[in-house]
């Protein structure tokens, strides 16, 4: 894991916690426009786009940008390996192993053995506001950094 890059992501998340951008953070969607993710969205994001930890990584570390008007995250050309490869781009930007990638970008309940630790996943699912969801993600990322991606 590239700790300076992870800390930059952490600062990015902290900065948006009390802004309208907080509503963009949603662990169920990579970087999908609002029109594609109308189910289970707690708050409509001002940018019409959802983004999970991987999507926020791409935005924070310069791997892509929000598409104005319609929403969605587009990757910059140098990061386009596949049509929409948010996860692989985020993993590359953070220099994550496959195990670290699973631990940071997924919940265990999504069928991943190495997803978020249960306490963070439970807190995230119990959160009722965008800011509260993002606060949990911030705590999760802090823990990930402190444990060097091992938990």
Look at residue 131 and tell me if it is in a domain. Answer: yes
Backbone φ and ψ of 65, nearest 5°:
-150, 160
Q: Is 88 within the bounds of a domain?
A: yes
Cα 53 to Cα 27: distance, rounded to the nearest angstrom: 7
Average pLDDT across the chain, whole number: 89
59 domain-assigned: yes
Distance CA 99, CA 87 (A): 13
Give 48's pLDDT tier (boundaries 50, 70, 90).
confident
Q: How far is CA 25 from CA 59, 113, 130, in A?
A: 12, 23, 7
Whole-structure pTM value: 0.91
Position 80 pLDDT exceeds 80: no
Tell me, yes or no, whether 151 lies in a domain. Answer: no
CB 9, CB 61: distance < 8 Å? yes
Please check whether residue 63 lies inside any domain of the structure: yes
- Is residue 21, in this structure, part of any structural domain at all? yes
Number of structural domains (the chain) is 1
Position 83 scores a pLDDT of 52
Residue ranges making up the domain that contains 53: 3-146
């Amino acid at each position: 894991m590239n700790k300076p890059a992870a800390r930059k992501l952490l600062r990015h998340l902290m900065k948006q916690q009390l802004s309208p951008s907080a509503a963009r953070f949603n662990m169920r969607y990579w970087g999908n426009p609002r029109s594609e993710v109308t189910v289970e969205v707690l708050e409509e994001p001002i940018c019409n786009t959802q983004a999970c930890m991987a999507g926020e990584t791409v935005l924070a570390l310069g791997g892509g940008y929000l598409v104005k008007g319609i929403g969605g995250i587009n990757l910059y050309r140098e990061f386009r390996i596949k049509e929409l490869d948010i996860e692989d781009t985020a993993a590359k930007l953070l220099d994550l192993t496959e195990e670290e990638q699973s631990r940071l970008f997924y919940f265990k309940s999504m069928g991943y053995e190495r997803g978020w630790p249960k306490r963070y996943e439970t807190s995230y699912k119990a959160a009722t506001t965008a800011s509260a969801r993002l606060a949990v993600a911030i705590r999760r990322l802090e823990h990930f950094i402190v444990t060097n991606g091992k938990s």
